[in-house]
Chain A
Amino acid sequence: MKETAGMSIIVKRITKITVSLIFLFGVYILLHGHLTPGGGFAGGVIIALSFIHLVLAFGKDVALTRMNLAVASVIESLGGLLFWGIALLGFLGGYFFLNVLPHGRPFDLFSSGIILVCNVAIFLKVGAGLFSIFLALALLRMPVDDKETHR
């Protein structure tokens, strides 16, 4: 591993342990959005934070092999289209945003019809959108940061 990019070895070692835990917590918050506090927005931001964690610790080169700006943009657009599609799906029953999917039993994971799918769509949108904002800022500012040696 290159030692020049990113932060020190301690930060990198801790990051390897914590980044998957943060990711898992984000998925939990996302999938239980209709049962417990949380939902697509919070889950999306947490998962975006786990990727930002990677960028900050390992430098942009290592992190960009997992997710780059073009992929993030495509995922964000897909999330927006999915949300729009769910809304249009309501026309099957008569009007915009009608909950057409089966509701299921309350307190089940797969209950509440379109709300779970909407959460996933918002997660894709928010997570990829915020991560691409950070990535654009990081890519733009990296040459400036390399000259300073404050870390």
Chain B
Amino acid sequence: MIELHVILILMIIGAVVAMEIKDLLSSVIALGAVGIGLSLEFLLLRAPDLAITQLVVEILSLVILIRATVGAHMPQERNLKKPGYFIFAALFVCIFLWFTAKAVMQLPVFGQPVMKMGSLYIAEAVRKTGAVNIVAAIILDFRGYDTLGEATILFTSVIGVLAVLRKTGRKP
């Protein structure tokens, strides 16, 4: 379990670097390190489906982000010197940490309980669907309706991007 925590700490460092660094390209690269770390975490937690998906989506978004940020000089202005902002931020962090601690207390032990629904899926998946990969059986058969919603979200976002980035009918 120690490697899990090491990668987690590296991911947190990467996220902080991505937020704080001045150069946009370096920020994107730090973000990529966070994504690769997340993929490794999925692999260590024995979720290879998620690891593969996270890895390829990470590569795709990294390509798009590098493509978008190379040559774009956006000065990052920070105005955190005023004491009012600092007090507000510290207050917000304290409230957030308090709620997080309360919520974490309520959680069951990591990965311990097999829920009623989950044990049913594990017992019945091969017999009812014929799929050996239980993840595919759940997302495309038992919970196909959820996947239809995800597909709709992707479709809507693609339509939005194509409408914003169109070439015809654009004012010069």
Seen from chain A, the residues whose Cβ lies within 8 Å of a Cβ on chain B are 29, 33-39, 41-42, 45-46, 48-49, 52, 56, 69, 73, 76, 80, 83-84, 87, 96-97, 99, 103-107, 111-115, 118-119, 122, 125-126, 129-130, 132-134, 136-141, 144-145, 148, 150
Q: Which chain A positions have C-beta within 8 A of B166? A: 136
Q: Which chain A positions have C-beta within 8 A of B56? A: 42, 45-46, 49
If A84-B148, A125-B154, A136-B162 are given as contacts, then 14 extra A-B residue pairs at C-beta distance below 8 Å, sorted by A number, are: A34-B131, A34-B132, A38-B49, A39-B135, A45-B60, A49-B56, A49-B59, A103-B129, A112-B132, A118-B144, A130-B158, A134-B63, A134-B64, A144-B71
> A112 to B129, Cβ gap below 8 A?
yes
How extensive is the interface on chain B, given as a class? 35 or more
Instruction: Tell me if A's interface is mostly helix, strand, loop or mixed.
Output: helix
> A33 to B161, Cβ gap below 8 A?
no
Seen from chain B, the residues whose Cβ lies within 8 Å of a Cβ on chain A are 48-49, 51-53, 56-57, 59-60, 63-64, 67-68, 70-71, 126, 128-133, 135-137, 139-141, 144-145, 147-148, 151-152, 154-155, 158, 161-162, 165-167
* CB<8 Å pairs between A and B, sample of 6: A35-B132, A38-B52, A42-B53, A80-B152, A97-B148, A129-B155
> B52 to A137, Cβ gap below 8 A?
no
A150 to B71 alpha-carbon distance, docked (Å):
9
> B132 to A80, Cβ gap below 8 A?
no
Q: Which chain B positions have C-beta within 8 A of A137? A: 64, 67-68, 161, 165
Most buried by B among A69, A104, A112, A136: A112
Given contacts A97-B145, A125-B151, A141-B67, A35 and B126 within 8 Å (CB-CB): no
Q: Which chain B positions have C-beta within 8 A of A42? A: 49, 52-53, 56
A17 to B103 alpha-carbon distance, docked (Å):
52
> A115 to B136, Cβ gap below 8 A?
yes
Instruction: Tell me if B's interface is mostly helix, strand, loop or mixed.
Output: helix
Which of A46, A52, A80 is close to B151, meaning CB atoms less than 8 Å apart? Answer: A80
A111 to B128 alpha-carbon distance, docked (Å):
12
Given contacts A33-B133, A37-B48, A139-B167, A106 and B126 within 8 Å (CB-CB): yes
Q: Which chain B positions have C-beta within 8 A of A49? A: 56, 59-60, 63
> B52 to A150, Cβ gap below 8 A?
no
Which of A38, A73, A112 is close to B131, meaning CB atoms less than 8 Å apart? Answer: A112
> B140 to A115, Cβ gap below 8 A?
yes
Of chain A, the residue at the smallest CB distance from B128 is: A99
Given contacts A140-B165, A141-B68, A107 and B132 within 8 Å (CB-CB): yes
Given contacts A42-B56, A126-B154, A141-B67, A113 and B129 within 8 Å (CB-CB): yes
Q: Which chain A positions have C-beta within 8 A of B70? A: 150
